[in-house]
Every structure is written in structure tokens, then in C-alpha cells.
Structure 1
Amino acid sequence: MKLTPEQARTLIEAQHPDPFSVLGLHGGEVVALVPGADRVWALGDAEVELTEVVPGIFAGEWGEPSYRLRAQNAQATWDFDDPYAFAPVLGAMDEYLIGEGTHKRLWEKLGAHAITHQGVAGVHFAVWAPNARRVSVVGEFNFWDGRHHQMRRLGATGVWEIFVPGIHEGALYKYELLDASGKVLPLKADPVGFGAEHPPAQASVVRKLGLHRFGDGAWCGTRAQAQERHAPISIYEVHLGSWVRVWDEGGRPLSYHELAEKLVDYVCDMGFTHIELLPITEHPFDGSWGYQPIGLYAPTIRHGRPEEFAEFVDAAHKRGLGVILDWVPGHFPTDDHGLKEFDGTALYEHADPKEGFHQDWNTLIYNYGRREVSNYLLANALFWLEEYHLDGLRVDAVASMLYRDYSRAAGEWVPNKYGGRENLEAIEFLKAMNAASYGGAPGIMTVAEESTAFPGVTMPVHEGGLGFGYKWNMGWMNDSLRYFARDPIYRKHHHNELTFASSYAFSENFILPISHDEVVHGKGSMLGKMPGDDPEKFANLRAFYAFQWAHPGKKLLFMGQEFGQWSEWSHERELDWYLLNDPRHAGMRNLVRDLNRLYRETPALHWGDCDPGGFSWSAADDAEASVYVFERHAPGSEPVVIAANLTPVERTYRIGLPQGGHWVEILNTDSGHYGGENRGNLGAVEAETFTQSHRDYSAEVYLPPLSVVMFAPHSN
């Protein structure tokens, strides 16, 4: 026997530093690790019973180039392929790129892949754990016993791999790791797993990619034009689990298959151009809304399998809708089965909590300066864009990534190498992510949720910027909500809260967001924020939406706010759809639908969202009346003039007009169709040759109380 009892003991105790160097066929001897077996045979042209060296380890001479194994105990006899008879799957170039941190298609090599290797079907597992003493893949297929499938370490990369024959798509698995001292760590989910069990269960699931055949070539070929800064972009933000529930089936959320019909139909009917999904990356806690993900490479099983999510995206594309994913590279949860101290060390996170722990969210922070971690995240961005044809990524909590002192007091953060507060490593990661995303998936867009004045967020990387396509305009959102929440009697003292945004509206490519963050945690719903009695609340909110759609910047509205939901959003129940039986709520939805239609069909309302040539004030300083008048323009198209009366007083008001003729009232938020009182201008006004607001033409118009009215020349 070439195998020594000491070697056998370390193998069965899963303590051998290199099990592949002993197990399998070496020098005419087969060594088999079969815990739980009483007898084992090598099978080929011959059949040889192997000798038990220690319980679970069997060895014997073998003269053929290949073999299978047969094992027997008191309960059963079974034949199987020995996982230690297979050569590595990953090649030298993969090792080199992974070690260098430049493998942009990392998901094709790490994770669990159902493949045929050396003519045998099975699953190849690979995971990065450079400081582990031993890594095993465990699952139902080996009784969750880490002795069975001890993995092979590949060189100095820190990647461990094994091909396990005979298991298939749908198998549950985790990784069992020993840290450098030999301590067994909590079982870990796969950082590059493509599927997971239904929470609160925590195992990863072997899932095949590419099972859905996309038919969205036409959309993908033209989406660059649909997502550029002069295009109309109006986004419906959705939490899939609480949009609609199936109450006759226990209140379950809709499946991806159902959403591909119901949600896509609804968003198309409402005239939005995009659906933005709160994170659907797998997450253990419903109450995190997906913002504390464990499975960055897995669409949540709450709504179905990966190919069903792909079906949903494809269905949206076939109807001309873009799909944006909220993506969270800013932090990750402390759950033991996640990335926390993955191999017994601070592998993905910083070891120092001053750099690696978010106090606000009780979450960990990625170490963006570690090349393998940066590679892991960058490849994840490309994964969603390439594998699922997503049209954009909205990056959550960018400000927390950019600044080392984010939400930290003096002494609670570590300065950068220059002594500053900027997180230089995160900045470089974001630049690399944007460059790779735009380069690897033409026509996509990336969006930053960034709440500070960090310069150049939407400036191209080659010009020194971060490289995002768009940025949420948090300043506009805060100022506008603060203004509209005021009693109208006081608004004249805060007139600049609506005019100030125009001073920086074109410093970045902005999206105007009314997101889920504005209707939770005691903030009230949009309708609930409005002052006055119920009719005034509805009138104020109608005026707010029209002001938002008329103001420069792309649009975003969170689900339920389009029909004026009274209550705050809760992830635990569906939206209050019954409110649509009330004409006031149905009217609010009619308004949002018409705003989207006007916005899409009228170049002046969208061409200049990110271009100063598309906007000008006509009356910006009438604080006493709380009236605002401005114009929107587009090259080669008729202008639109917008007038807002934000007091509960009806007014006859002279507005300047950029040209003479017949001006049609193309929208009036006081229309009865929207739940208003049907007060207006009888459909149109005539321009007079009378100078007003530096315009040669003007007209006296009727402005209903708490309203926004839009006018366009008759030819429009």
C-alpha cells in the first residue's frame, strides 16, 4: 500500500492539505474516500475490491486508465464516478485573470455550473477563499458532510474547485470552510450562486443560465436612442413583492410569469418608458426590500426561477419598455451564511470597522481596493446586463461609497492616503464599473443615487468623471416636497424652493425622483404630505406631478403614488388598488397617464431635460402670487409654456408667449377628467402683440386654484 494510515486519517478527518494529490488514481493505486461505506470496489474491465485503510478510506492497485466505484453498506449498494478522478476544469488563463482581478466574466468560471466533463455529466463548483485551510462543497447529495467533496486549491489564486459527477440543476449546496487555524466556519452560501432556496432557508441552488431564449433583438438594437439624454425617460419604480398580491392563494406575490403580463401591461397603459425594480438580488430579510443582498448573482426565488425572470425582462422589451435594476455594491449584510469573514478573514470587507462597517445600516462595506473584490462587483454588473439583458443599473447609496466619513463622527473614520475624506478606491471602482458596463453592453444606462455635490457624477470617465449616465436629483426632490408640504399661505416666503433647482439643473444629467424612500418610515404618502382639506390635497398633488413632469430632468415615480395612495407604502401588503373606485384617485391616475403621453409625444417637454437650451423662465419672481411661468423648447419643435398657480386662489394672469397665434391648453390639472373642477381657458387662448416677460406676445389666461396649466401653439 502506498497510502499511509496517517494520510488516510487526515483525509477522513478532512484535514489533508491537498486531497487531490492522494485521492483518485496515482501510480497504479486507487484511493477512494467514501464515508459511510463498508466495502468499496473499483470497476472497469475488471472489478477489484479495495482495502479499507481506515473507516471511510479505501485503497487498492488498479491497472486501467479509468474507473468507477461501487460502494456498499448495510442499507444499499451504489455505483458512482469518483470526483477525484477528474482533472481541473479551470485553466491557467482563468487562474491568471482571477488572480489579477481582471476576469470580467467571472460568473462563467466561479459558482456552480452543470456541465459535462470528461464525458460525464455533473456540476463544477468553484469559489474564492484564499485564506481557508480547506473548502468542501456540501449538500443533500453528500448528506451535508464536508468529508465527501473536499475541493482542490488552484495555485496561488485562492480559488478552490471540484467537479461533482452525477448531480444536476436544482441541487442544494453550500460551502464548508476551515479557517487558517482549522476552525470550521458557519456554512456559506455561494458568492457567485445563480439561485437560492426560498428564505428563510439559506442554501444556494444549482441553476442553469441561458435557459430562456430572448427575442428582444429589436429593442436592444435601438435602446441607445431610447435612453440617451434627449429622449423621454419616465420610470415606474416597483417593489415586486407588494405591487399586487394573490389573496385567494394566501396573499402570495406575483410570479415573474404573471408580472410579465400584468405589470408590463399596466406600465405600458400608464405610458411609462421604464420599469425600475427594487433589488431582486437574493436577500434573506423581506424587510430590507432587497437592499441587503446575499446572492448578488441570483434573482430572488420569491417570484420564480432565473429563466422566468429573463422571460419578464424579455416581455418588457417586446413592449418597448426598459428594465432597470436597483444594484447594491455599497454594502452587504452580516448574516453568517453570507460574505462576512467568508474564509475566516475579512475577505470581502475591511477588517477595521472604521472602514468596513456601516453604523446606520448594521452592514459591512466592500473593500474596493482589493482587486478580487472589485473584480467580483464589476463582473456582477456585467452579469445582469449581459445574462438578463437589463437596460440599466441604478446604483444605491453612492454617497456612502464616495466618502470615508459618510455618517461618521470625527475619529470614527480612516482618511485616505492623502489625508482626505474621499474613498479613492471606491471612486476608481465606480469609474471602472461604468466604463466596463457601457463598453460591454451598448445602449445601457447607469444611474447614481448620490445625495451630495460630488463633481462630475455624470461626466464621462475619460473626461475625469465617474461615468454614470444619470444622477438622482435629491436637491430638487427635497426642496419641492418641502415647498408643497407648506400651507399655501406661507409659500410666498419660500418661493425660491421651486426656482433654485434651475440654477444647477444642467450641471449633471438628472432624474427627478419620487421614490420609495419618500413614502416610508413615517414620511407619509405623497397625498398625505399635501396640506389642506381633501380636495386641496388632491389639487396640490396634481399640481406637483404636473410641475415635476414639466421641470427639466427625467422622471421617476414609485408605485401607488400614481393614483394618490393615502397610506405609506408597506412591503408586507399590496397597494391600495380599491382606491381607484373613487373618481378622485382614478383622476389622479388619469393625470399621470396623460403627463406621460404628453412628455413622450412633445419634444419640448423632454429634449432639454439635460440641456440648458430646452428651458427658460418667463416669470420666476412672483412670490406674492406664488405663480411660476416657464418655457420648454426643442430644436425644430414648437415650444410649451407652463404656468403654475400654487395658491388656493383663482387668478387671471398675463403670461408672455414666445410667438403669436392660437395657443391650445394641452393640459390643465383642474380638469374634471383628473378629479378637478373643470375650470380653465375653454381649450385655448389667443396671443396678443403685448410685451410681457421680455416676450413680444402674451395672453391673459385663467389659472385655477392649486393648478398647473400647459399651453402649446395650435400646430403642436
Structure 2
Amino acid sequence: MDLFEDIVNARCSDPFGFLGLHWIDEKDLTLKVWRPDAVAIDVLAIDEDTVLGEMSPHGYNGLFTCQWSDKKEHFHYRLKITYSDGNTATIVDPYQFNEATFSDPKHHKATLYQKEGALFQSAPVSDSLAIDGTRFAVYAPAARSVYVVGDFNGWDGRIHPMSSNGDGVWRLFLPDVRDGAKYKFEIRAKSGEVLPHRTDPFAKRIEQFPSFASVVQESQYEWNDNNWMSRPITDIYEEAVSIYEVHLGSWRRKDHNEPLTYLELKEHLVQYVTEMGYTHVELLPVSEYPFDGSWGYQPVGLFSVTSRYGTPDEFKALIDAFHQAGIGVIMDWVPAHFPSDSHGLANFDGTHQYEYEDPKKGWHPEWNSLIYDFGKEHVVDFLISNANFWLEEYHIDGLRVDAVASMLYLDYSREDGEWIPNVDGGNHNYEAIAFLKKLNETVYLNHPRCFTVAEESTAYPGVSKPTYMDGLGFGFKWNMGWMNDTLEYMKKDPIYRQYHQGELTFSMVYAFNEQFMLPISHDEVVHGKGSMIEKMPGDGWQKFANLRAFNGYMFTHPGKKLNFMGCEFGQGQEWSHTKSLDWHLLDIDYHKGLQTLVKDLNHFYSAEQALQIDHDHQGFEWLSYDDGQNSILAYVRQSKQRDELVMVVVNFTPTPHSGYRIGAPKEGQYELVLNTDDTMYCGSGFPLPKVLKAEHIESHGRNNSVIMEIPPLSTVIYKWKA
């Protein structure tokens, strides 16, 4: 009776060994049912209300048995249960469907989510009838027992013990449990301790605080983005990529400070991004997370889109709308760490199943969170299948991987004695490096139209080099050096910039060492750093002139572009996740002018071939980089064939210049195509010639040169005409 005791005491690991139909002495068929609080149970035919037998209480409140001597084989049945309060319920007993009824769905390691979690399945009971339900599966190899609890069993941790065949995965098919059912797992550790209820690591949907319940999710969405998903595979390194980074909850808010829903964002955000000329939108993490203040960077439900703004299908509708508008969607993805919330992955089955056991490897002192154990096969499969899940199931076009530097280095944010060296005595995390390489290989092999981006702030070599060249295999790397140096330069009063010209030009020394992306991200406008407009020196006009010149410089500097929401119109306050951007500022000319400039820069960048060779020396040439006294830069951007080129001059002081001679890359005429000092952007309107004609006068090492008028605090772009 050991199994009986395990059933009664909610510690059963082999429920099918006791519950359900079993032969006794190969002649009598006995049914055992465990249903606490029941007073009577009738056995009914599976497809009609015929009573096949009345069950008898058996020695303990909740255990019922029934026996047949005339049955030749197992049969399928239903149970009509009467409870002590007089209520009745008719159910299909899950313990008539043992493990032999279901084999694990076909999957490979990159689609582990097709094996674990809550999956809809049908159990055949006759030639003409199948019972639909949900098959639950969870990996908890160190657990003594696992029970599924939910609104379908009154959250009673005694009723539905799961079964494991020794592979560490616990499984149970529950008939008639369908879309919208709420559930968790009740896990008993080897020590006998019943752990706090866990959300499903593979849950497709999770409720918000305080329940954090997993929700069975059956998608009904029909995609309409086939043209986008089947578009020709092109070389993204030779295309315009301008990304609008967005926190969905604070981009725009409604009355009573309520965030827009996915469907409302579909109507408003897609239109705005399209009009502004961005090629991509990047979403701060949308995987479910418990703490609003983490902005999504402390995720618990990696497979669940956050329910803050709607349902999974409504999120798909948002992605679909972006694709139909020709906009790619990137999402921030966080494999570097996860929070220690009791309903999540921490100490999941009573052991460190997902995190490193030693806190010197498994705890992030900077974020007070846990670190995945990249040396465990199941953890690697879990994370890579999650990345693949977003690309497959949600049609995401790119993954920006957060905090890569923290993954690469064992001593990241740690003092001496607080970290464990690798087998060679160094500080590289070989397991994390292998994981990142495998991640990128999997993404690019299975999704050639998608790409990955590393937020990586160190000099680690080859972050965006292919793995066959011993790189990490990312498609792009954020250029944090350019960002830091440029913003430090821009903060300075123009009178002092002449002494820092080298800091501004240094980025071109390494501009092509990686496939760089130029990021002005959310991290630059929070935590006391001030908004972009507040970083700029000078009076009101100079602040905006500085920011306009900076944007012109950024869009003409080699590297793909990323700008956080609000920066495009000069958001005055630091970004806060708790409120909307200050859209009312667009009633002020300076803010509207800046927005118009960014819009024009986006469209110009996308249309101008000369600006799109971002990752090759052929696309850039200096004309003048050493006029520190005037804080002027001049350079050429050109197409690979050099038949399209633009000449860019940036003046980082409020002093205009007349008769300024600059070497010209070619003979011919140069037509003014963009001037950040134009009055349409609220610039000074310093008069400029519409056309410059190159003269055969040597300057800056060139055989030809032009005489320019240079406005104050501006970026001016002239296009060569043969």
C-alpha cells in the first residue's frame, strides 16, 4: 500500500501504478479513483450516460474502487462525482490515459517548447471519438513528486499527481482542460518540502501580480504577413537600418495614465514609426516579468508575452501590422540573468536546476539576480528554444541580446575573491561563450532573414564575426565606445570642444572592426543621466541646434542607427516607465522642428545608397578631421562603386564660417540635400548656396576643392552630381 500512502499524502511519483484501471489476477478489472471530498462516484460510459458501475469508498476519505469480472479488456469511461456539499461534476478520468497513450511530440532541441509546457492534444477513445485536453509536461529531475494545480481542480495539490518515466520530465494529460485554464505546478523536493507553486517555465501566458498563474493558451491567430516573411533574402549590411527603440507601456498613455493595449498600439505606434521613416522597431523586453520597475529585464516567463497590454494573439496582431507596413520587429532578449522570485525558476525543483549553484558564478551582484548555468544541457536547450520560439511563433525579426559582457566574463562586476576562474585560470566563461555561439548558429541557420545584436561594452574580439572565424556569431554589436565618447563630447561647452577633437574622431580608428550599430538607447536617458536635450550645453536655441547637429552626424557616421523613443523630438524630462512621453511638446516649434529633422534623416538615409555601406572602409573617407580649432569635421560617404557620394560637414561650434575651403572628392557639382540649420527645423537659416562647383585648387590632399558657407552648430550634406 506504499503507493496508496503516497497518493493520500500528496507525494506520489507513480500515479498510474495505483490509479485508473488495473487487472487483478488477470481476471478482475479494478478501477481506483482518488477524489478528496467526494461522497459518491458513478462510472459512466465514455460516450453515453449508461452507468457501468457504482464505486465504493475504500478505507480513506476520497479513495473509491469498483471491480468488474466480465470485462475482457480495458475500456474508457467518465466519472460522475457527488461532493459533500451536494454538487456534482462529470469528468473524464485522466488516469485512464497512461504514458503509453502519448509519446513526446516530435521536436528538436531548438523547439523544446513543442515537448514541454501546456500542449493541446487529443486522446482517441474509439474509432469515432477523441477526448481533447491539455498535456502538461515540466522538467524537474530532482523532484520527489509534481502535481498540477489549477482552477480546474480548485488549486488542490492532492488531486492530480504527474508521472515521470525517469527522464526528469513529469507529464499528465488532463481531459477537457482548454484555452484560458489557469494552472501552476506544486513540486515536492527530495527533502519532502513542498515548494511554493511554480509557474510553468514554458507557459505561453502568465497572469500579473498577485496570482502569477500560468494560463493555457491556444492561439487562433491567422497571420497576414506572408509577403514580409517570404521577402527576398538580402545583405542587411548594405541596407539602411534605423531602429526606433520603444517601451510599450510608456510610449503613449490614455486617460487615467493607462498604457495603450497591443491593439491600440497597432493603430497608433505602427503609423507613427512608418511616417517617421524608421526601418525597424525594437521593443524593450516583452517576455513576462513580475516587477514593473525592471522594464522587462528581470523576466520570469520567457515564453509568455507580457499580459500587461493584452493577449498573445493581440501581440501577434501588432507584429503583423508592423510587417504589413514593411517594418521589422526586434525584441530585447535576456538570457544573462533571471530574478529569484519564488514562482519562477530559482531553486525550481528544490535544487539549482537552472542557475549555477555557487553564488560566485550564479548570482549577479549588479542586478541582484541569478545567472543561468550554461554548462547544463537542459538550460542551453531551454534558452535556445526560447529564442527560436519568438522567431517562429511570433515572427520576430531580430533579437537584441542584453548584457552580453556580463555573460562573457566570470569577474564581471565582481571584486577579487568573488569569482571562480575557468579551467585555465582566466576570467572568460567558456560555457556562456559556447552557448552564445550555438545560439547565433541556430538563429542564422533556421532564420536567414533574422539577425542578432549584442549589447557588449568591452573589447572582446569578434563579437560580430562568424563562429567559423572564432567569433561569437552575432550580426551586430552596439558601438558603446562611439556612444560614450560622442555624448561626452556633446556635453561640453563648444568653447572647450577644440581640445577634444581626437575623442570625436577616434571612433573611425575601429569603426570597421565589428558590424557596429550606433545606439542612443533608453540607458542614456534614465538614472540621473538626463534627457538628450538636457545633455546639450547652451541656451534653448543652442541646445536644439546641438542636438540637430548631433543627429546629422549620427546618421552620416558609419553604423546602423538606434534611437530611443522621445529622443526624436527632444523629450525634456528623463524617461520614466510610469508615464507617457511628453507629446504635448510637439506644440513647440523647437521640438516639432527636431522631429521633422529626424524624420527627414530617416527617409534620406533609406534612400541614399552612399550612406548604406556602414561596415566597409569603402563607404567612408575623411576630408578633414584635424580642424580642432573650429571643431569642424568633413568626410565623404559613398556607395561601393563610388558612383554615389555625399560630402558631409559638421560644425560643433555656434560660430558660422564663410569662405571655408574644403577638399572635394571629385570634380563636378555638389547639390545641397540636407542642412540641420534650415529654418524648417528651427535653425538659424544661415544662407547657403544650393550648388557648389569644385575648383581645380588643391586642398586637404585633394586635387579639387569647394568654398563653403558653414552654419553654426550644424550638419550640412551635399550630394555629388557628375
TM range (shorter): over 0.9
Q: Deviations over 1:459-515 (max 9, x none)?
A: 111221111000000000000000000011111111111100000000000000000
Moved more, 213-222 or 229-238: 213-222
**Alignment pair present for 1:420 and 2:426:** yes
1:240-255 pair list within 5 angstroms: 240-247=248-255, 250-255=256-261
1:606-645 pair list within 5 angstroms: 606=612, 608-636=613-641, 637-645=643-651
Counterpart of 2:239 in structure 1 is 231
Q: How many angstroms apart in 2 are the aligned matches of 1:369 and 1:229?
A: 33
Query: Residue 685 of structure 1 is aligned with which of 676, 692, 699?
Result: 692
Counterpart of 2:21 in structure 1 is 25
Query: Residue 8 of structure 2 is aligned with which of 9, 12, 16?
Result: 12
Q: Does the aligned pair in 1 maintain the 2:105–2:114 contact within 8 Å?
A: no
Counterpart of 1:220 in structure 2 is 229
Counterpart of 1:673 in structure 2 is 680
Moved more, 553-562 or 111-120: 111-120
Q: How many angstroms apart in 2 are the aligned matches of 1:10 and 1:187?
A: 19
The AA in structure 1 aligned to 2:709 is Y
**Alignment pair present for 1:88 and 2:99:** yes
Deviation at 1:704, TM superposition (A): 1.0
Q: Does the aligned pair in 2 maintain the 1:330–1:366 contact within 8 Å?
A: yes
Alignment CA distance shift 1:219-1:17 (3 Å)? closer
Counterpart of 2:144 in structure 1 is 133
Q: How many angstroms apart in 2 are the aligned matches of 1:242 and 1:696?
A: 53
Deviation at 1:682, TM superposition (A): 3.2
Moved more, 638-647 or 214-223: 214-223
Deviation at 1:329, TM superposition (A): 0.4
The AA in structure 2 aligned to 1:504 is Y
Deviation at 1:688, TM superposition (A): 1.2
Counterpart of 1:164 in structure 2 is 174
Q: Does the aligned pair in 1 maintain the 2:3–2:17 contact within 8 Å?
A: no
User: Identity of aligned pairs, percent?
Assistant: 48
5+ unaligned residues in a row in structure 1: which ranges? none
**Alignment pair present for 1:493 and 2:495:** no
Q: Does the aligned pair in 2 maintain the 1:628–1:645 contact within 8 Å?
A: yes
Q: Does the aligned pair in 2 maintain the 1:196–1:204 contact within 8 Å?
A: yes
Q: How many angstroms apart in 1 are the aligned matches of 2:543 and 2:264?
A: 34
Instruction: For residue 317 of structure 1, give the secondary structure of its aligned residue in structure 2.
Output: helix
Deviation at 1:523, TM superposition (A): 0.2
Counterpart of 2:410 in structure 1 is 404
RMSD, matched Cα: 1.5
Q: How many angstroms apart in 2 are the aligned matches of 1:377 and 1:90?
A: 29
Q: Does the aligned pair in 1 maintain the 2:284–2:332 contact within 8 Å?
A: yes
Counterpart of 1:48 in structure 2 is 53
The AA in structure 2 aligned to 1:126 is A
Deviation at 1:624, TM superposition (A): 1.0
Instruction: For residue 104 of structure 1, give the secondary structure of its aligned residue in structure 2.
Output: helix
State the number of aligned residues.
700
Q: Does the aligned pair in 1 maintain the 2:110–2:388 contact within 8 Å?
A: yes
Q: Does the aligned pair in 2 maintain the 1:137–1:175 contact within 8 Å?
A: yes
Q: How many angstroms apart in 2 are the aligned matches of 1:621 and 1:262?
A: 45
**Alignment pair present for 1:205 and 2:210:** no
Q: Deviations over 1:529-576 (max 9, x none)?
A: 001111110000001111000000000000000000110000000000
Counterpart of 1:352 in structure 2 is 358
Deviation at 1:90, TM superposition (A): 8.6
**Alignment pair present for 1:383 and 2:389:** yes
Instruction: For residue 636 of structure 2, give the secondary structure of its aligned residue in structure 1.
Output: strand
User: TM-score, normalization: structure 2?
Assistant: 0.95
Q: Does the aligned pair in 2 maintain the 1:200–1:284 contact within 8 Å?
A: no
**Alignment pair present for 1:317 and 2:323:** yes
Counterpart of 2:26 in structure 1 is none
Alignment CA distance shift 1:182-1:503 (3 Å)? same
Q: How many angstroms apart in 1 are the aligned matches of 2:3 and 2:644?
A: 84
1:362-373 pair list within 5 angstroms: 362-373=368-379
Q: How many angstroms apart in 1 are the aligned matches of 2:376 and 2:426?
A: 20
Q: Does the aligned pair in 2 maintain the 1:519–1:568 contact within 8 Å?
A: yes
Deviation at 1:47, TM superposition (A): 2.5
Instruction: For residue 332 of structure 1, give the secondary structure of its aligned residue in structure 2.
Output: coil
Q: How many angstroms apart in 2 are the aligned matches of 1:593 and 1:236?
A: 11
Q: Does the aligned pair in 2 maintain the 1:89–1:163 contact within 8 Å?
A: no
**Alignment pair present for 1:657 and 2:664:** yes
The AA in structure 1 aligned to 2:716 is V
Q: Does the aligned pair in 1 maintain the 2:13–2:162 contact within 8 Å?
A: no
Counterpart of 1:703 in structure 2 is 710
5+ unaligned residues in a row in structure 2: which ranges? 24-28, 125-129
Q: How many angstroms apart in 1 are the aligned matches of 2:604 and 2:465?
A: 29
Instruction: For residue 7 of structure 2, give the secondary structure of its aligned residue in structure 1.
Output: helix
Q: How many angstroms apart in 2 are the aligned matches of 1:154 and 1:679?
A: 78
1:461-610 pair list within 5 angstroms: 461-606=467-612, 608-610=613-615
Instruction: For residue 439 of structure 1, give the secondary structure of its aligned residue in structure 2.
Output: helix
Q: Does the aligned pair in 1 maintain the 2:556–2:611 contact within 8 Å?
A: yes
Q: How many angstroms apart in 1 are the aligned matches of 2:407 and 2:89?
A: 53
Instruction: For residue 290 of structure 1, give the secondary structure of its aligned residue in structure 2.
Output: coil
Instruction: For residue 623 of structure 2, give the secondary structure of its aligned residue in structure 1.
Output: strand
The AA in structure 2 aligned to 1:20 is F
Instruction: For residue 506 of structure 2, give the secondary structure of its aligned residue in structure 1.
Output: helix
Q: Deviations over 1:117-171 (max 9, x none)?
A: 221111111100000001111111111111111101122x210011111221011
Q: How many angstroms apart in 2 are the aligned matches of 1:593 and 1:230?
A: 21
Q: Does the aligned pair in 1 maintain the 2:406–2:412 contact within 8 Å?
A: yes
Counterpart of 2:127 in structure 1 is none
Moved more, 686-695 or 561-570: 686-695
Instruction: For residue 701 of structure 1, give the secondary structure of its aligned residue in structure 2.
Output: strand
**Alignment pair present for 1:34 and 2:43:** no
Deviation at 1:46, TM superposition (A): 4.5
Deviation at 1:344, TM superposition (A): 0.6
Q: How many angstroms apart in 1 are the aligned matches of 2:262 and 2:232?
A: 23
User: TM-score, normalization: structure 1?
Assistant: 0.96
Q: Does the aligned pair in 2 maintain the 1:395–1:447 contact within 8 Å?
A: yes
Q: Does the aligned pair in 2 maintain the 1:135–1:177 contact within 8 Å?
A: yes
**Alignment pair present for 1:147 and 2:158:** yes
Counterpart of 1:79 in structure 2 is 90
